[in-house]
Chains A and B, each alone.
Chain A
Amino acid sequence: MTEVAVPARDARPGGRWSTPSLVEDVLHLAAVERAVAHVTAGWVPKVPELDAKLRLADGLEGAMARAVALREHARTLLERDDEALRADPAWVEPLRALDRSADPVAVVDGVVDDAGAFLAARYRDLAGQLDPLYDARLLATVHTAVDALARRAGQPGPVAASLGAGRSSGPAEAAPLDALVWAPVDRVPVPARPAGRRRPLPGAMGHLRIGSRRELHNVAGELNENVTAELCALELLCRCAYEHPELAWSTQLGMARHAADESRHAAMFRRLLAERGIDEAGLPQHATNYELAYEFPDCEPGSGKELVWRLLLLCTVLEALAIDKIPPEIATLDWLDQPDIARALDYIAADELFHVDHGLRLTRELCAEHGLDPVLERELVHGRFFGRQRDLRSRYLEADPERAAQEIAALAGPDPDGVPFQSRTERELRRRVSFTEAEIDQVDRWGYNPRSAG
C-alpha cells in the first residue's frame, strides 16, 4: 500500500485554527501579561504615593491570572507540548526597559495606562477573529480581559507603540515562555513612602494607645497602623514574587492573589479613615514588618532560604497570629459600637485563612526543595525577627527613661474601656488551614495567647 503524506494542518486554507496565528497570538498575550505582572511586583514597593502604589498593585492578580489562563490555552492548542511554549524576548523588551526606569510615575502610567491599553486593543482584535464555538473557552478569557482592562487602562503611549513594534518583529529568537521574565534589577530593603509624613523613632510603637479606643485619635492611629501592616505584607509578597521569577506561574498566581488581598485590605482601612474625615497625611508612617523581614544575616541575599524565611514569617507566623488575634478584635469593635470597622475585619479574617493555607503549602514545598525543615526554620526566623524588635525597643526604652516610664504606665495601666475579650490560640481554625498539632503547639508555646487546652 502506498504511504500517503499526511497533509500539513497549518497549510490548510485559512490555517489550522480559526485565525492563522492563533497560537502565537495567545503566546504573545501570555508573555506580555506575565511581564506586566513581573514589573508590577517589582515596583509596588518602590512607588511612594499610596494611591499610585495601590493602583499599580490592583493589576497584579489580574495580569498573572490572565497569563496563567493564556499559557494553558496555548498549551492545549499545542497538544501539551511544553517544549513548544516559546516566546520572543523582544515581545516584552519594552517592559524590561520600563523596569530599569528610575521614575515611579512613568512606571505606573506605563504599566497601568499604556501597556493596559495595548493589551486591551490586542484582546479586542483577537476577539474579533475567534470562532464563538471552537474558541468558546478562550473567548471567555479574552472577554474578561477586555472588561478588566477597559476599567483601568488609559490611552496608548510609547510603551504600547514599543510593544506593538516588538510583536511585529516575529518569533525568530523564541525562548521558553516560562523563562521569559528577567532576573531582578535591584533589591529594595526599604520600601518607598509618601514624602513629608512623619516616621516614629526606631523602637517606638507604631501607635501607642492612651485613653479610650472610642477616641478619634486612637481610632485614627490604629486604622493607620493597619494600613501600614497591610502595605508591608503587600510589598513583601510583591518582592518575593519579583525576586524569584523562577517560581512556577501557578505559584506566582497564588502570591499575586494574596498580594491583591493585602492591597484591598489597605484600601479598606484607608476608606474607614476617610469616612471619619481623617487625613492620613497627618498620621505617622513606617514599614517595620517589611524592613525587618526583607533580609536576614542568616540568609544569602536572593537565596531560596531567604524566600523561605520571608514567607514563613509573613504567612505562617504573623498572619497566622492574626487568625488568633482578629476574633477578639472584632468582638471588641462590635462591643464598642464600631460595626463598620468590625465588618472590615470580618472580611479580612476570612482572607487570612487563605493566606496562611497558601503560605503553609508553599513553604512546605520550598523547604522540601531547599532541604529545610519548616518547623525548625519557623522557630529560627521567629527568633531573628523578634530579636530585632526586642533590640529596637530596648534601645528606645533605655534612651529616655522618663519617656519609657510614661509608656510602661500606659501599657500596664487599666483598660479605660474595660474590654472583656482576649485572644486564644484558634486551634480549630489553624487545623482547617493545615497546621499540624505540633505546629499549633509551637505557637501556643510562644505565648501570644493564654495557653490553650489542646
Chain B
Amino acid sequence: MSKEAVASVYTIMLNDDGYRELVAENPAVLDEWDLTDDERQLLLEEASTEVSGFSIGSGPIMGYLSRGPLLSQPVASSLGIALNRAAGLPTGALTGPGFAASAGCCPWNKSFVADKSEWVQ
C-alpha cells in the first residue's frame, strides 16, 4: 500500500506546485501518509528538484514506482494524467475551434498531417 501512497503524494505534487513546495519546506506534511523512511526520502528529494518538460517523471520517484507490483489502475491513471498535465500534454480528446469533435482519435478521417521533415534525421 505504501507504493500507492507514494504515487498518490507524487500525483498531488505534480498537480499542485504549492503542495510540492510545502513538502520541500515542511516534510512533516508527509506524516499523514503511510510511507517508509526510504519512500519519504525519495519524495523529499523529488519535491526539491526543479523539473520541466521532458524531465518531468525522470526523477527518483518514477524509478521507484517502476519496481515491484503494479499500481492500482485508478492510481496509475491519475498519475499519468498528472504527468501529462505537468508536461503540457493533452489529458483527453483535443477540442476547441479547428479541432474535430473527436480529433485525431482513430483511423477514421480525423488525423492532422504530420510534419515529416521533423522526423527525418
Contact = CB atoms under 8 A, between A and B. Distances in A.
Interface of A: 189-190, 199-207, 209, 221-222, 225-226, 229-230, 232-233, 286-289, 291-292, 294-295, 297-298, 318-319, 321-322, 324-326, 329, 371-380, 382-384, 386-390, 392-393, 396-397, 404, 407-408, 411-412, 423, 436, 438-439, 441-442, 445-449
Given A298-B54, A390-B90, A445-B92, A383 B113 contact: no
Interface stretch (B19-27, B29-37, B42-50, B69-77): B69-77
B61 interface: no
Contact of B120 (A190, A289, A407): A190
B83 interface: yes
Chain B contact residues: helix, strand, loop or mixed: loop
Contacts of A326: 108
Contacts of B41: none
> Chain A CB within 10 Å — which of B67, B70, B72, B98 has the most?
B98
Contacts of A207: 109
B14 interface: no
Nearest to B106: A321
Given A396-B112, A441-B77, 20 more contacts: A190-B116, A199-B116, A205-B111, A207-B109, A225-B109, A287-B114, A318-B107, A319-B107, A321-B106, A325-B105, A325-B108, A375-B77, A376-B77, A384-B84, A387-B89, A389-B104, A404-B98, A411-B97, A438-B74, A449-B102
Contacts, number: 194
Contacts of A412: 97
B84 A383 contact: yes
A226 B100 CA distance: 17
B103 interface: yes
A322 B109 CA distance: 11
B38 interface: no
A291 B46 CA distance: 34
Contacts of B87: 383, 387
9 contacts: A207-B109, A226-B109, A232-B107, A324-B106, A374-B70, A378-B80, A390-B94, A393-B98, A411-B97
A203 B94 CA distance: 13
Nearest to B117: A202
Contact of A393 (B80, B99, B121): B99
Given A379-B77, A392-B115, A439-B73, A321 B105 contact: yes
A205 B112 contact: yes
A72 B77 CA distance: 41
A199 B118 CA distance: 15
B103 A206 contact: no
Contact of A407 (B89, B92, B98): B98
